[in-house]
Structure 1
Amino acid sequence: MISDDSRPERIPPIGSCCSPTRPGHDRPTQPGADVRTRPPDPARHELEQATVSGRRFLMGDSTGAGNRGDGEVPVHEVWVDNFQIDATTVTNAAFARFVAQTGYRTEAETYGYSAVFHLAVAADPEDILGQPPEIPWWLGVRGADWTHPAGPRSTLEGVHDHPAVHVSWNDALAYCAWAGRRLPTEAEWECASRGGLPGRAFPWGDEWGDRYRCNTWQGVFPTLNTVDDGWLTTAPVREFAPNAFGVWQSVGNVWEWCSDWWDEHYYSYSPNRNPSGPPAGARRTMRGGSFLCHDSYCNRYRNSARASNTPDSSAANIGFRTVGIAQHGSNE
């Protein structure tokens, strides 16, 4: 373990196979660049949109597969107004346009390190800054950031259509401000992921069938990934198939930031119309699981699965998608 005070001693977990929390930062920070909110501009944000009409749906885990402490119950009826959501997560190409126009530096770049999965590291030994004993498959890697997703010896070559990763909640918010967008609420995210299928575990239903449906772990976690689905880490955002709403890979691939503060008890008191999360907190909600999810350890690649992290945390399996600011009536 490297003990130099200028480096992180370890990267503590938030639980399970989720992404590590940046140590020593338990309060939200502000974006690292002065990016003011702009009117919506399709020329800035060119990702295809999926339109979700206003509707009621059952939010929460109806299958009994939820993880204790994640707050996936009670199942409750929620109404969400019409909204448009990115059909895919924000890609490296899209994030690069934002950075090119604003000069924005992500928090991983500012801090000088981020978390990389141990089988995917592209870095010299001296750039490995820590390995938490609770989740040893995560390494703190100096020089890991959105342009170097596996570490300083990696690039974006060949992955421009993959999700932008090593993006903190604050970074995602800065992108939204530039693009005239916002992050989805948990309720909007889950409604979009379900694709109109009530109570189902996955965007396509409850069964896997005879083919891979999303990018998760195959083999023995965390030491052997057989890569049967073709991907050790992230997959292109349009890999596999979209759900009935036209939303691609809402489960698996990368965790996606939502706008809500985190409270594992929120479902017991949340409003039943357009819930937007608790009024305050220390962590923000993430949805969808990632390429590290596996039934033996972290089965959070489900519509109702929830997790959280501090707003300045980043890792190789955290990305985001956005929602249009303009609403078009409740259609109720």
Structure 2
Amino acid sequence: MPEKACCQPPSPPRPAAQTRRLPRTDRSGRRDPDVVHVPGGRALLGTARPLIVPDAEGPLTHKRVRDLWWERGAVSIAAYRAFVDATGHVTLAEQFGWSFVFHTHLPGGAAGTEGIDGLEWWRKINGASWARPFGPDVTDIDETLPATHIAWDDARAYAAWMGGRLPKEAEWEHAARGGLGDVRYPWGDDDPDDTTFLPCNIWQGHFPMQDTGADGFAGPAPVLALAPNGYGLHHMVGNVWEWTAEPFRLRSQSRDARRRMAEAKGQKLLKGGSYLCHESYCHRYRIAARSGNTPDSTSGHTGFRVVYDRPPT
């Protein structure tokens, strides 16, 4: 199974940046969140049928989770714009001046842009950010798309402004299962592929050169585009990776796990996979699948979703 770098481009050294800390009471201009109630209880975490064993997808365990109120979709560009307009927040990608864009999303092609050795499909694009997810040359943006190029602290700042937070892994998996129990995907165990289109936005075709877009999307989809799961949540797998509140930890105590934990020190946990996932190389669009990246990493397939401990007012 390929290494996780295909999913999460590593962040090279960048200049020091300061993320603005916002008081929780500063919520002028805040939108009304579109939420659904997810009942708590004895939640499943992980799987007894791991596919990517080094990621510590197993074992299958149980956790207690509280009743929570979840935003139906990932935070959209329009929603993030309201936050920026109200607070003046400057994301890390904007402070750094660049972010990673997938090569097929560059209107002029990848020629003349800088890539990552061994991961040439990720290109360093000056001016790419949440407001210009495909780089500064693409100005006609559908603002119902998920906000991407969001670092972990950018996601936390938005969530705090809204009066919410990022979810924990057990909470995320419980919500993604939609009340179905021990299933692989939010709709059950049926596998999507290049011809069977289930409610997730993933890659079809030959990675990394051709995404046929046979499911209707050769790139990110609007946050509520496809059918929701049993709890009313859209795109819990596929579309964009979602930051969680927790560090990336491996539950195993094996020697290999301890080595990987040392390599992953400081990384944060992401869940759900993205529109770049395909069974042939990155089958991480499953509920139990996991990934990690440094909190200052930003890319065109990483976003987030907000959860609330009580009904938002």
TM > 0.5: yes
Q: Could you say which residue in structure 2 is the equivalent of 1:259?
A: 245
Contact kept, 8 Å, 1:71 with 1:267, in 2: the verdict is: no
- CA offsets, 1:110-133, max 9 Å, x none? 0011001011124687872x2112
RMSD after superposition: 2.6
Q: Could you say which residue in structure 1 is the equivalent of 2:169?
A: 186
1:143 to 119, 127, 147: 127
Q: Could you say which residue in structure 2 is the equivalent of 1:4?
A: none
The CA distance in 2 between the partners of 1:266 and 1:219, in whole Å, is 34
In structure 2, relative to structure 1, the CA distance for the partners of 1:184 and 1:31 (3 Å cut) is farther
Identical amino acids, percent of aligned pairs: 39
The CA distance in 1 between the partners of 2:290 and 2:110, in whole Å, is 34
Q: Could you say which residue in structure 1 is the equivalent of 2:303?
A: 319
In structure 2, relative to structure 1, the CA distance for the partners of 1:174 and 1:122 (3 Å cut) is farther
The CA distance in 1 between the partners of 2:58 and 2:268, in whole Å, is 18
- 3-state secondary structure, aligned to 1:136: strand
Matched, 1:18 2:2: no
User: What are the residue-to-residue correspondences of 1:92-171 with 2, within 5 Å?
Assistant: 92-122=77-107, 128=113, 130-155=114-139, 157-171=140-154
Matched, 1:248 2:234: yes
Q: Could you say which residue in structure 2 is the equivalent of 1:212?
A: 198
User: What are the residue-to-residue correspondences of 1:271-282 with 2, within 5 Å?
Assistant: 281-282=265-266
- 3-state secondary structure, aligned to 2:53: coil
TM-score (norm 2): 0.88
In structure 2, relative to structure 1, the CA distance for the partners of 1:43 and 1:142 (3 Å cut) is closer
- CA offsets, 1:190-232, max 9 Å, x none? 1100101111110000014753321000011111111101111
- 3-state secondary structure, aligned to 1:326: coil
Contact kept, 8 Å, 1:127 with 1:142, in 2: the verdict is: no
Contact kept, 8 Å, 1:63 with 1:201, in 2: the verdict is: no
Matched, 1:90 2:79: no
Q: Could you say which residue in structure 2 is the equivalent of 1:35?
A: 22
In structure 2, relative to structure 1, the CA distance for the partners of 1:233 and 1:211 (3 Å cut) is closer
Contact kept, 8 Å, 1:62 with 1:199, in 2: the verdict is: no
- 3-state secondary structure, aligned to 1:178: helix
- 3-state secondary structure, aligned to 2:44: strand
Matched, 1:295 2:279: yes
| 1:47 Cα deviation from its structure 2 partner | 2.9
Q: Could you say which residue in structure 2 is the equivalent of 1:227?
A: 213
- Please, which moves more after superposition, 99-108 or 56-65? 56-65
- 3-state secondary structure, aligned to 2:4: coil
| 1:70 Cα deviation from its structure 2 partner | 1.1
Q: Could you say which residue in structure 2 is the equivalent of 1:60?
A: 46
- 3-state secondary structure, aligned to 2:116: coil
The CA distance in 2 between the partners of 1:42 and 1:71, in whole Å, is 42
Gaps of 5+ in 2: 255-263
The CA distance in 2 between the partners of 1:49 and 1:125, in whole Å, is 39
Counterpart of 1:224, as a letter, is: Q
Q: Could you say which residue in structure 1 is the equivalent of 2:294?
A: 310
Matched, 1:177 2:160: yes
Counterpart of 1:100, as a letter, is: D
Counterpart of 2:6, as a letter, is: C
The CA distance in 2 between the partners of 1:118 and 1:160, in whole Å, is 21
- 3-state secondary structure, aligned to 1:147: coil
Counterpart of 2:171, as a letter, is: E
The CA distance in 1 between the partners of 2:252 and 2:125, in whole Å, is 34
Across the two proteins, how many residue pairs are aligned to each other?
A: 298
| 1:79 Cα deviation from its structure 2 partner | 1.2
Counterpart of 1:226, as a letter, is: T
Contact kept, 8 Å, 1:73 with 1:267, in 2: the verdict is: no
In structure 2, relative to structure 1, the CA distance for the partners of 1:139 and 1:158 (3 Å cut) is closer
Gaps of 5+ in 1: 1-12, 269-279
- CA offsets, 1:57-81, max 9 Å, x none? 221023332x132111111111101
